[in-house]
Amino acid sequence: MSNNNKSNIISGTGRLLFRLVLLILLVYAGYALYKEFFDRPPPLPEGRQTGIYMVEIIDGDTGVLSDGNTVRYIGIDTPEVGEPFYEDAKKLNSHFCLGKQVRIEYDHRRRDRYDRILAYIFVDDSLMINELLVEAGFANVYIFPYDQKNIQYRRRLITAQIRAIDASRGIWSLPPPEPAANYYGNSNSFRFHRPDCRTLNRSDASKMLNFESRYDFLELGFSPCRVCNP
C-alpha cells in the first residue's frame, strides 16, 4: 500500500472519529438543554421559612410557632370541638408537629382575616402535615382558589382525599348526608350545594357545575356547603 493510500485511510479514520465525538457532544448538549428547560422539578412556593418550631397545637389544623405566630394549615379543614374525629386530628397534629422543627411554605395569600399565617407545614424535610391529615381521613380538602395558586400542592391534597374516601377512613367512614337528586357547584368558590340551598349563587351560569353524585365534586376538590350540608 502506498504512503498516499495509508495517509488517506488515517485521514478518513480521523474524520470519522471527529464526527463521532461531535455527534456525542451534540447529543449530550441536547440532553442537558432538555433537562435544563423541560425537565425541571416544579418551582418551590414563593415564600418559605425554616428553623422554626411548633410550640403549641390548638386543634387539628392550627398551631403556634416559636416566633409567636399562629399558623392555619392551608387547604384543609379538620373537625371542630365536639365533632367526630376532632381529637384524632388534634392528636395526629401533635404527634408529628409539637416540639418539632418545621418548615412552612406560603401560597398566594399569607394571612387570613384573623391574622393567622396560612401555610403548608413540613416536618422531616418532606412530610407535608396538611396532606397527612387528609390522607388519614381527619381532614377534608378546603380550597380557597384565590389563596391557593400552587396547583401541585392542591392536587396532592385532592389525591390524598380520594384515597381516604375510597378507603372509608376517618370522617369518610361516617354515614353520608341524606342524598339529593343532584348537586350544584361553583368553580369560583370550590363549594357544592343542594339545589335548594339559599346560599347557592346561580348568577354566573358559566361557572356552575351540575352532578348527580356528591363524590363527583369531592374528587375535584370541592367542599360541601356548611349551610345545606350536601
Beginning with the edge strand found earlier in the chain, give each strand of the sheet holding 191-193 in spatial order. Answer: 208-211, 183-186, 191-193, 223-224
Query: Could you confirm whether domain 48-166 is CATH 1.50.10.20?
Result: no
Cβ atoms within 10 Å of 210's Cβ, excluding its own: 11
Quick one: pLDDT band at residue 194, thresholds 50, 70, 90? very high
Give the lowest-confidence range in 42-56, 64-78, 82-96, 146-160: 42-56
Pairing of strands 48-59, 101-105: antiparallel
Quick one: pLDDT band at residue 1, thresholds 50, 70, 90? low
In angstroms, rounded to a whole number, what is the distance separating the alpha carbons of residues 148 and 141? 12
**What is the average per-residue pLDDT within 99-118?**
93
Write the pLDDT tens digit of every residue in 109-159.
999 999 999 999 999 888 999 999 999 999 999 999 888 899 999 999 999
- What are the sequence ranges of the domains in the chain? 48-166, 177-224
In angstroms, rounded to a whole number, what is the distance separating the alpha carbons of residues 228 and 224? 8
Q: Which of the following is catalytic: 72, 154, 191, 214?
A: 72
Q: How far is CA 57 from CA 87, 128, 135, in A?
A: 12, 16, 19
Average pLDDT, the chain: 85
Residue 116 is a catalytic residue: yes
Q: Quickly count helices (H) and strands (E) in the chain.
A: 5, 12
Q: Which of the following is catalytic: 116, 154, 156, 194?
A: 116
Query: Hey, CA dihedral for 144, 146, 147, 149, is it positive or negative?
Result: positive
Q: Which of the following is catalytic: 80, 83, 109, 155?
A: 80
Residue 219 is a catalytic residue: no
Give the three cell numbers for residue 78: 379538620
Give the lowest-confidence range in 32-41, 75-84, 166-175: 32-41
In angstroms, rounded to a whole number, what is the distance separating the alpha carbons of residues 160 and 130? 10
Q: What is the pLDDT of residue 207?
A: 77
Q: What is the pLDDT of residue 102?
A: 96
Single-letter amino acid, residue 132: L
Cβ–Cβ under 8 Å, residues 39 and 31: no
Cβ–Cβ under 8 Å, residues 78 and 137: no
**What is the average per-residue pLDDT within 154-167?**
96
In angstroms, rounded to a whole number, what is the distance separating the alpha carbons of residues 142 and 214? 15
Residue 40 is a catalytic residue: no
The answer to whether residue 40 scores a pLDDT higher than 90 is no
